[in-house]
Amino acid sequence: MKRIALSLLTSVIAITAVSPAFAANFDQLRRENLEKDAINIEEISQENLEKSDRFDQLRRENLDKDAVDFDTLRQENLEKSDRFDQLRRENLDKDAVNLDQITSEDF
């Protein structure tokens, strides 16, 4: 029992003596890691603004490419509608039944 108690006491004394050295080393390593991983908010903000400006420019370019000229489309549709009406009238004229002619032929 005395051996176990003596062994434990020796371990505690050794750990106590070495701990401050490890603690100092740990603090130094922690500071170094914090400095390595430090985030420069201003730099990131500037990068995001530049990306945002580029995004806005690309968006405007795409809008310009895909812009629809509604006046031109409306005019084309009106012309097609006029052509459709003309063809419809021609078909009605071709297929028109002369009722008087049919009536006189039947009797």
Query: pTM for the whole thing?
Result: 0.30
Q: pLDDT, tens digit, for every residue of 15-74?
A: 766 656 656 688 888 888 878 776 778 888 888 889 888 899 988 888 888 777 788 889
> What local confidence, expressed as pLDDT, does residue 107 receive?
58
Q: Taking residues 86-105, what's their average pLDDT?
A: 74
**How big is the chain by its Cα radius of gyration, in Å?**
46
Instruction: Report the distance separating Cα 50 and Cα 48, nearest Å.
Output: 5
Residue with token string 């009605």: 92
Instruction: Report the distance separating Cα 14 and Cα 36, nearest Å.
Output: 33
The CB-side HSE value for 10 (13 A sphere, CA atoms) comes to 6
Instruction: Report the distance separating Cα 88 and Cα 104, nearest Å.
Output: 28
Residue 101 pLDDT greater than 70, yes or no: no
